[in-house]
Amino acid sequence: MSHAIPSVLAFFAPESGGSPNANDIDDLYKITLVIALIIFFAVEGGLVYALVKFRKRKGAVANQIHGNTRLEVGWTAGAAVVLIALGGLTFAKLSSIQDPPNSGPSGTTLGEQNNVLYASNERKLPPNGKALEIEVIGKQYIWQFVYPGANEPDGLGAPYSYEEMVVPTNTTVSLDIVSQDVVHSWWIPELGGKFQDVPGYHNYTWFKISKPGLYRGQCAFLCGRGHARMIASVRAVPPAQFETWLARQKQEISEANKEAAKARAKLNEHGGAEKVENP
Amino acid sequence: MATYAAPIPQVHAHHVEHESTGWTSWLTTTDHKKIGIMYMVLTFMFFCLGGVEALMIRLQLGAPNNTLVSPETYNQLFTMHGTTMVFLFVVPMMAGLANYFLPLMIGARDMAFPRLNALSFWLLLAGGIVFYASIFWSPPEAGWTSYPPLSSALFSPSGGQDAWIYLIHLTGISSLVGAINFYATIANMRTRGMSWGRLPLFVWAILTYSVLLILALPVVAAAVTMLLTDRHFGTHFYDQAEGGSPLLWQNLFWFFGHPEVYIMVLPGFGIVSEILPVFARKPIFGYKAIAASTVAIAFLGFLTWAHHMFTTPIPEAILVFVMLSSFLIAIPTGVKMLNWIGTLWGGTIEFKTPLLFCVGFLALFLIGGISGVFLAIFPVDWQLNETYFVVAHIHFVLVGGAVFPIFAAIYYWFPKITGRMLGEGLGKLSFWLMFVGVLVTFLIQHVIGMDGMPRRVYEYDNVGNLALYNQISTVGSFILGAGVVATIVNVWRSLKFGAIAGPDPWKANTLEWFTASPPPVNNFDAVPIVRSAEPMKDIRREIERRTTGATSPAGSTQVGA
């Protein structure tokens, strides 16, 4: 629906096009915009008409009326009807914005190994319960993304990346958004709305990308002096490519960890461990 | 007492105190008019400071990846700008206007508690000094909303954050004491015949403003006190690691912060409701509806704070409830819009500067009100929240809803305060510059926000047309600034050279125009008995009847002691 809109209207609308929830928000926005523009031009038009028509002229006498109850009641009812319509529209769109769909047939199957029966009344999962879960960690001033594939039950050894999240196309990706220090806000405009990372809380959203490509965004809540530079991006690639990337990322991280362990052992031998902070 | 002597009637010599002059008279005064003038001058100075900060913000954003100011300075600038405009300009400016005009409008000789009134002013000054002193060390930089953990001792160790906390405390006590004083004055000191149904609408607005302050301020006082003890005395109210919650701050702050918006705009509504009928030469359209919708907005204002928290982890039931309660506020606000346009409708409108600023208010506030409906729809808010769309929204609401009515009030009441008129030419220039400036600065910011630029960023990359849009906004901000300068020049010139106003230059409706301009220390030698919501209109009619000797029905207002 929204994808073929004229570019003039796009000038007045938020970004969309990456994920179905962003597109649904965009539709809801545009319907609201049309109603708003009608009200705007009617009221400003009435104001301008009154100013021109009733400006002071020779011989004109002001009409000494104190009110019009029927008009006032009618206006109130009219406003209420418009708002009820907007509320109904929001409820009609709400489930498609909030509830993630199933992954497409060509999506990655990695999600099926993870959280198949995730029980949460806050996190919305696709009808079949299968989604690729990625943890989004905000910290001053960088984003970290932790992917499924931990070696150990406590989550250690899971592959991760910074700043750029890589995801498979046609796959429902469920995000678990947390913060390590202050309040941040996760936002990739083309992939849907913002969700605050509040320390001590989990926040959830999802997206499902059909077109491979790079989707840019940045932290949307003031988090300190580096706030403007806390950028984020999501790169969507075909599922096979994603699985290769993830395996390589995992291997590289585990190799780097081994190197680090070796270096630590060497330091310990030389009795220098106490001089190293945060081993 | 064993013996009782009947008091002997005595005649006291009538002692007339001369009006004291000189600077000490300002320091020691308890006269509501002098306190009101000090309020207005001081808060206007803070308005200029906040304006300079805004222009520096716009200069920095005038070009992509600009390096004019450092990220640290930029964060300090927007923190100072927001805090100044809310706590040191709009709220106390409304208190200043009310200080001067509320007793005059209800026919009283002073406020109910004149010394408390002086205390309010000096606490405000103390708050302003504490806050602005921080620019010589390290100003706060966590935004005017100061969310922890960013505002905690760990992430904001500088004393600037503490200066911010003391500002909230001091201006909070100042406003609280002032609000109690306004309430007591309105409840007890109305002149004969001024029933609730004849109260000027500005007084209704100040009554509601006072109740909102009394209910909302203790909450923010508690919130910042807990922030203070978290920072310095080892408590953990907002520390999730020790069982506290950063969301507690958001709830408490916005429980105050949303009613604060109505604290800022309701007096503006009151000013507009006074001025429109005078220049349309027509009674206000729907007096009862305006008074009732003011009270309705105030009540609903306490149910909607969580719409500032739509992107936080909160249950869906709350999202839905708050969306609907925010929608509800649009209804009484829409009623007011109808009443104001209805007041102009069928009138004979004189386009004097106070009226122009009121019309500017109607046009701009409507834009802010409509963009507010978008933000109330929470899925749409997920896209628009914390972007320049929100910056545009709050500026249409506050510049439209508070600054324009304040300028209307300056042009309308300056003759009463000084006895001289402000120049119409400079006034109209000021209006047009400010009106065009607001549109150029803030309309494009809706688009900037929807293109993905968050607020409170010190720099941005030139993606799409962001550079062009931001340049437009920066140019607009300087047009707006020039409009403010025109009014400052106008005030400066008119203090000496303005035309003599006389007691009632506008042929207005309310009692402040019954006395001399400027009014004497005791305000009125004799206060008329009020017979309607427009006592001055009754008086003019009565005078006309007596001087022409016409046999129209007996005038409805008498002049009594």
CATH code for position A29: 1.10.287
Q: Does A223 touch chain B (CB under 8 A)?
A: yes
The number of CA neighbours under 13 Å toward the Cβ of B358 is: 31
Q: Indicate whether A155 and A227 sit together in one domain.
A: yes
Q: Does A56 touch chain B (CB under 8 A)?
A: yes
Does residue A158 sit within a domain?
Answer: yes
Q: Indicate whether A115 and A238 sit together in one domain.
A: yes
Q: Indicate whether A146 and A84 sit together in one domain.
A: no
pTM of the predicted model as reported, rounded to 2 decimal places: 0.92
Give pLDDT, residue A279.
44
What DSSP string runs through B167-228?
HHHHHHHHHHHHHHHHHHHHHH-PPTT--GGGS-HHHHHHHHHHHHHHHHHHHHHHHHHHHH
Q: Indicate whether A85 and A157 sit together in one domain.
A: no
When CB atoms are compared, the residue of B311, B335, B377 closest to A75 is B335
Q: Indicate whether A229 and A193 sit together in one domain.
A: yes
What residue of A is the nearest CA neighbor of B283?
Answer: A66
Q: Indicate whether A163 and A76 sit together in one domain.
A: no
Q: Indicate whether A74 and A179 sit together in one domain.
A: no
Amino acid at B519: P
Q: Indicate whether A93 and A119 sit together in one domain.
A: no
Domain boundaries, chain B: 30-527
- Which of A44, A78, A98 is where one domain is finished? A98
What residue of B is the nearest CA neighbor of A187?
Answer: B383
Strand partners, B420: B500
Does residue A186 sit within a domain?
Answer: yes
Q: Please report residues of A whose CB lies closer than 8 A to that of B71.
A: 225-228
Chain A contact probe: residue of B154, B239, B348 with most A CBs at under 10 A = B348
Domain count, chain A: 2
Domain at A214, CATH number: 2.60.40.420
The whole-angstrom separation of Cα A240 and Cα A168 is 8
**C-beta separation of A181 from A200 below 8 A:** no
Residue found under tokens 């690691």: B241
Contact B359 A185 (CB under 8 A): no
Q: Indicate whether A116 and A44 sit together in one domain.
A: no
Give pLDDT, residue A116.
36
The tens place of each residue's pLDDT in chain A, 279 residues long, gives: 444 445 566 778 888 888 999 999 999 999 999 999 999 999 999 999 999 999 988 888 888 888 888 999 999 999 999 999 999 999 998 888 888 888 888 887 765 554 433 434 467 888 887 889 999 999 999 999 999 877 666 666 789 999 999 999 999 999 999 999 999 999 999 999 999 999 999 999 999 999 999 999 999 999 999 999 999 999 999 999 999 999 999 888 888 888 888 888 888 877 655 555 554
Query: How many Cβ atoms are within 10 Å of A145's Cβ, its own excluded?
Result: 20
Q: Does A202 touch chain B (CB under 8 A)?
A: yes
Q: Indicate whether A148 and A72 sit together in one domain.
A: no
As annotated, the active-site residues of B are 81, 110, 144, 174-175, 258, 260, 262, 273, 307-308, 333, 336, 455
Closest CA–CA distance from residue B549 to any residue of chain A (Å): 23
- Assigned CATH for B30-527: 1.20.210.10
Q: Please report residues of B whose CB lies closer than 8 A to that of A40.
A: 366-367, 370
Q: Please report residues of A whose CB lies closer than 8 A to that of B384.
A: 14
The whole-angstrom separation of Cα A275 and Cα A169 is 47
**C-beta separation of A217 from A230 below 8 A:** no
In Å, how far from its chain's centre is CA B520?
A: 26
The whole-angstrom separation of Cα B277 and Cα B286 is 11
Q: Indicate whether A130 and A264 sit together in one domain.
A: yes
Cβ-based contacts under 8 A for chains A and B: 243
- Given a cut of 50, the residues of chain B with pLDDT beneath it are 1, 552-561
Give pLDDT, residue A266.
86
Strand partners, A174: A133, A206
Range of the domain at A93: 2-54+68-98
Nearest-CA neighbor of B91 among B484, B398, B362, B431? Answer: B398
Contact A193 B362 (CB under 8 A): no
The whole-angstrom separation of Cα B223 and Cα B253 is 7
Contact A199 B246 (CB under 8 A): yes
Does residue A74 sit within a domain?
Answer: yes
Q: Indicate whether A253 and A138 sit together in one domain.
A: yes
